Amino acid sequence: MKALVYHQQEDVRVEDVAEPSPGPGMVKLRNAYSGICGSDLHVYYAPETSGLDLTKPHPVTGAMPPQILGHEFSGTVVELGKGVTGVSAGDRVAVFPMIACGQCPACRSGYPNACRNVGAHGLTSDGGGMAEFTTVDAWRLHVLPDSVDLVLGALVEPMAVAWHAVTRSGVLPGQSALILGAGPIGVGLRFPLKARGVDRIIVSEPSPERRAVIAELGADRVVDPISEDLASEVAELTDGLGVDVAFDAAGAGAATLSGLANLIPRGRLVVIALHEKTMELLPTQLVVSEIEMAGSLAYFQSDFDEVIAAMAAGHYSAGGWTDIIGLDDVGAAFGRLRSGQGMKILVESR
């Protein structure tokens, strides 16, 4: 079968690999679509910033490159391993890819998303979604209702990242939000904010293309932080109070600092993006207004369930911000995304 295989920094190849068979408790999927994630870009361009050590076997799975990529994906069940119940051949599914050790302090505290040995199927495992087929443990499957197609199914994972971040923010209906960065996660933040009754959303994004996309999707106000005064726009939207919550989906120090600067007293900034560079922060900024910074990493199984339910209720759309490409086009797509062009790119594996 054809698969996109990561070998090392800036080296991915479409190769013929053996078609997998499901072991006990596993299922075989015919993969449909797999999203290119920011984590994939970190692994491709700057693996030392990815949070994963790809130079040695993963401590849970034992896997290391060459690695089939694709951890945001959907597919159709085609074969059941011994002992599998609860799913059937023909079911369309989204896959929960997170790998956790179960032994570290985060896992023992009930937060496997912050596992010290965290990994993902499609980054640190045998297989991934950017191939014709893969095998996964049956417990990882989230069956899609009829109203949620396989394109939306491939978006469940990144949308769960955004859903989890909105939960971490503690935002309430009627409050205001600032989204810093209108890439896929920035776009993804808008859906749960609107679904939860947040009626004033301002987006800060330097890319004209991305500003146009999120404006078309219905952001209340979109600002170019380079040529416009973000603070003035926030003040106008919030009657001079500042936003209740802000989200760093940009991964740039300047964006983080602007988020803190535009919060209402006791507001909260949630950092979702991975940063490749350090930044200077004067903690007094937090003290004088009792504002908070919180990290948000990945998701729980419950976030997948809630996103799928929200998709079924019509709160999500893939239109206007997703592109579909083939396996042979992934290398070029990495370059586009790295330069800030394009939005969400899904790789069709079928």
Tens-level pLDDT at each residue, the chain (350 residues): 999 999 998 899 999 999 999 999 999 999 999 999 888 888 888 887 777 788 899 999 999 999 999 999 999 999 999 999 999 999 999 999 999 999 999 999 999 999 999 999 999 999 999 999 999 999 999 999 999 999 999 999 999 999 999 999 999 999 999 999 998 999 999 999 999 999 899 999 999 989 998 988 878 899 999 999 999 999 999 999 999 999 999 988 889 999 999 999 999 999 998 787 888 888 888 888 999 999 999 999 999 999 999 999 999 999 889 999 999 999 899 988 887 777 899 999 87
Domain edges within the chain = 2-147+314-348, 169-295
Non-local (6+) Cβ contacts of 1 within 8 A are 16, 17, 18, 19, 131, 132, 133
pLDDT of residue 235: 94
Residue 295: beta bridge partners? Answer: 271
Pairing relationship of beta strands 176-180 and 119-120 according to DSSP bridges:
unpaired
pLDDT of residue 154: 97
Domain 2-147+314-348 shares a fold with domain 169-295: no
Label residue 253 exposed, middle or buried (CB < 10 Å: 0-12, 13-18, 19+): middle
Q: Which CATH number among 3.40.630.10, 3.40.50.261, 3.90.180.10, 3.40.50.300 corresponds to the domain 2-147+314-348?
A: 3.90.180.10
Supply the DSSP string of 229-272, one letter for each residue: -HHHHHHHHTTTS-EEEEEE-S--HHHHHHHHHTEEEEEEEEE-
Pairing relationship of beta strands 200-204 and 221-223 according to DSSP bridges:
parallel
How far apart CA 215 and CA 210 sit, in angstroms, is 8
Residue 176: beta bridge partners? Answer: 200
| Global confidence as pTM | 0.92
Name the helix (H) or strand (E) containing 159. helix 150-169
Pairing relationship of beta strands 92-95 and 141-143 according to DSSP bridges:
antiparallel
User: At 261, which amino acid appears?
Assistant: A
CB 195 within 8 A of CB 315: yes
Non-local (6+) Cβ contacts of 140 within 8 A are 95, 96, 97, 121
Q: How far apart are the first and last CA of the chain?
A: 11
pLDDT of residue 322: 93
Q: Which residue has the tokens 């859903």?
A: 163
CA distances for 23 relative to 73, 83, 136, 205, 310, angstroms: 20, 9, 9, 46, 33
Take residue 343 and report the two structure tokens written for it.
């939005």
CA distances for 164 relative to 45, 140, 160, angstroms: 26, 18, 6
Q: Which CATH number among 3.30.360.10, 3.90.79.10, 3.10.20.90, 3.40.50.720 corresponds to the domain 169-295?
A: 3.40.50.720
pLDDT of residue 343: 85
